[in-house]
Amino acid sequence: MSDPWWRSAVVYQIYPRSFCDTTGNGIGDLEGIRRKLDHLVWLGVDALWLSPIFPSPMADHGYDVADYCDVEPLFGSLEDLDRLLDEAHARGLRLLLDWVPNHSSDRHPWFLESRASRDNPKRDWYVWVDGTPETPPTPWQAVFPAGPAWAWDERTRAWYLHRFTPEQPDLNWSNPDLRAAMLDTLRFWLDRGVDGFRMDVVHFIGIDPSRIAPGFDGPTDPARSHAHLREIRRVLDGYTGDRVGVGEVYILEPEELATYLGHDDELHLAFNFRPVWVPWDAKTYAREIDRAESAFAEPRWPTWVLSNHDRPRHRTRFGRDGAARAAAVWLLGVRGTPFLYAGEELGLQDAAVPPELVQDPMGSRDGCRAPLPWDATPGHGWASPEPWLPWPPEVDTRNVAALREDETSILHLYRRLLAARRASPALHAGRQRRLDGPDDVIVLERERDGDRRRVLVNFAPETRRCPADGDWIVEVASDGVGEGAAFDGRLAPDGAVVLRPER
């Protein structure tokens, strides 16, 4: 049996608001994504994941869904989504949507019904506790903004649970009708042909009503989350085409994270977020690789991510261009499915967002959500010169058009890495061994069916010597130097290489 496509794929995350605006309202849209499909094929990614595109009052920029089965008018229409999907598929690109199962918007018709009266048939689709306005049922705090995870609703004199903003009431997955309705929302998109879903905070969904009491640290019973994930998996498995479920399971212990793959009957993939929190340092990364290799040993498969829409970009975190280039070699050379965040292939840094322009309900995530600059014109390829957030730094030179022109750019490095990875079974599907290297250097050996590669990453901003046994050719170098020539054992400052055996 051949490997499912998502094991060897590179997934490219698009934050639709920030990708490309074609209507002039300062907000990116589906048509903007469609127009850039050929560019993404040129770059060489395999799949796109769109952060939520559903109708939303945008209290959390789409992670507050008011209708799971339609498209937000700011982004376009259902027809636009169908067209995008068709045109992506015609180019061999898969498309993943971002399903938000833990909470809806407070404007979702389900919540409007639920809050209308205590005996409404949908009352129990959310988590309500009767009480008095002075004291929330438990001391639980929301993830953001700072404050209780409960909001008082005067009409029915009860509290509802919201582990994120008050505009994002938690859905009650212990109710079978809610579960059936949510599974139907998956079928709606699967029937239209989407290739799978990224699933928002999906480890939270196993609500156990008996835990909604002081003394518990939250309402989630992991055993229930696992059971719901098995139900979700059965829906995906009912379709042909290896539809994939990728879990945002925000658990930083890889061993526990891996349990959310079940016995190949829960999620297919789960994000390992450790690299977005740890420093760029060889010892640290060696440890992270070893931990993931053991927690996600075959038949499991790891994921890797350096940047996303919730954390400062890794170029900003690491502070050096060279380190961002070396990190690209690491991300596309390590065993697992990599997730790229749109803009990292440009080496983008976070925008500086002055307090009066802050949009994010958490307050800290706007910088990495800055709009993508397509060219050096005043509007940088956007229909409006005034996008919803300020442009990132160096926008006149660090934009898609300028970097496509410059073969030494980081954009071309990503393109060469993606091409090398696609062509090499060792890189996109092989097993991995970490070899000893000098201080500050990580050495990975990859192998599949006789195909071999070595990935060497120098984390130090100084030269390191790392002689390789045998004769190796530099296939890709993070600084572009020496590609196609024999490897001489020297790693440039912040230098990283992919090597192939001479024969």
**Spatial distance between the Cα atoms of 332 and 328, rounded to a whole number of angstroms:** 6
What minimum distance in Å lies between the beta carbon of 309 and ligand NOJ?
6
Collapsing DSSP to helix, strand or coil, 348 comes out as coil
Task: Give the CB-nearest residue to ligand NOJ.
Answer: 63
**Spatial distance between the Cα atoms of 260 and 258, rounded to a whole number of angstroms:** 5
What minimum distance in Å lies between the beta carbon of 490 and ligand NOJ?
41
What minimum distance in Å lies between the beta carbon of 209 and ligand NOJ?
22
Contact residue for ligand NOJ among 82, 221, 310, 447 (CB under 6 A): 310
What minimum distance in Å lies between the beta carbon of 459 and ligand NOJ?
28
Write down the catalytic residue from 29, 167, 200, 494: 200
Told to judge if 436 belongs to the known catalytic residues of this protein, a careful annotator would answer no
In this structure, which amino acid lies at residue 437? G
Beta carbons of 266 and 236 less than 8 angstroms apart: no
What minimum distance in Å lies between the beta carbon of 462 and ligand NOJ?
36
Beta carbons of 472 and 454 less than 8 angstroms apart: yes
Other C-beta atoms lying within 10 Å of the C-beta of residue 461? 14
Kindly provide the b/e burial profile for residues 71-107, where b requires at least 16 CB atoms within 10 angstroms of the residue's own CB. Answer: bbebbbeeebbeebbebbeeeebbbbbbbbbbbbbbb
Applying the rule CB under 6 A, the residues between 239 and 298 that interact with ligand NOJ are: 248
Write down the catalytic residue from 29, 31, 72, 248: 248
Nearer to ligand NOJ, 63 or 173 (CB): 63
How many residues line the site for ligand NOJ (CB under 6 A)? 9
Nearer to ligand NOJ, 107 or 490 (CB): 107
CA 323 from centroid of its chain's CA atoms: 21
**Spatial distance between the Cα atoms of 272 and 87, rounded to a whole number of angstroms:** 30
Nearer to ligand NOJ, 246 or 403 (CB): 246
Nearer to ligand NOJ, 288 or 366 (CB): 366
Contact residue for ligand NOJ among 63, 204, 296, 330 (CB under 6 A): 63
What minimum distance in Å lies between the beta carbon of 312 and ligand NOJ?
14
Beta carbons of 337 and 302 less than 8 angstroms apart: yes
Nearer to ligand NOJ, 285 or 388 (CB): 388
Residue 262 token pair: 């079940």
Look at residues 70, 178, 69 and name the one whose alpha carbon lies nearest to residue 122.
178
In this structure, which amino acid lies at residue 168? Q
Nearer to ligand NOJ, 309 or 335 (CB): 309
Told to judge if 248 belongs to the known catalytic residues of this protein, a careful annotator would answer yes
In this structure, which amino acid lies at residue 328? A
Block residue for tokens 């079978």:
176
Collapsing DSSP to helix, strand or coil, 96 comes out as strand
Residue 215 token pair: 């003394």
**Spatial distance between the Cα atoms of 116 and 170, rounded to a whole number of angstroms:** 16
**Spatial distance between the Cα atoms of 262 and 435, rounded to a whole number of angstroms:** 30
Distances (CA, A) of 134 to 16, 213, 214: 40, 16, 15
Contact residue for ligand NOJ among 21, 29, 31, 60 (CB under 6 A): 60
**Which stretches does DSSP call E strand in 147-237?**
150-153, 158-161, 196-199
Nearer to ligand NOJ, 43 or 372 (CB): 372
What minimum distance in Å lies between the beta carbon of 100 and ligand NOJ?
6
Distances (CA, A) of 411 to 374, 418, 435: 12, 11, 29
User: Helices 222-237 and 176-192 meet at what angle, rounded to 10?
Assistant: 30
What minimum distance in Å lies between the beta carbon of 385 and ligand NOJ?
27
Applying the rule CB under 6 A, the residues between 155 and 174 that interact with ligand NOJ are: 164
**Spatial distance between the Cα atoms of 170 and 161, rounded to a whole number of angstroms:** 6
**Spatial distance between the Cα atoms of 323 and 365, rounded to a whole number of angstroms:** 22
What minimum distance in Å lies between the beta carbon of 401 and ligand NOJ?
29
Site string for ligand NOJ, 97-116 (x = CB under 6 A): ---x----------------
Q: Cβ contacts of residue 215 below 8 Å, gap of 6+?
A: none
Site string for ligand NOJ, 375-414 (x = CB under 6 A): ----------------------------------------
Nearer to ligand NOJ, 196 or 495 (CB): 196
Applying the rule CB under 6 A, the residues between 198 and 217 that interact with ligand NOJ are: 200-201
Residues lying near ligand NOJ in the complex (CB under 6 A):
60, 63, 100, 164, 200-201, 248, 309-310
Q: What is the set of active-site residues?
A: 200, 248
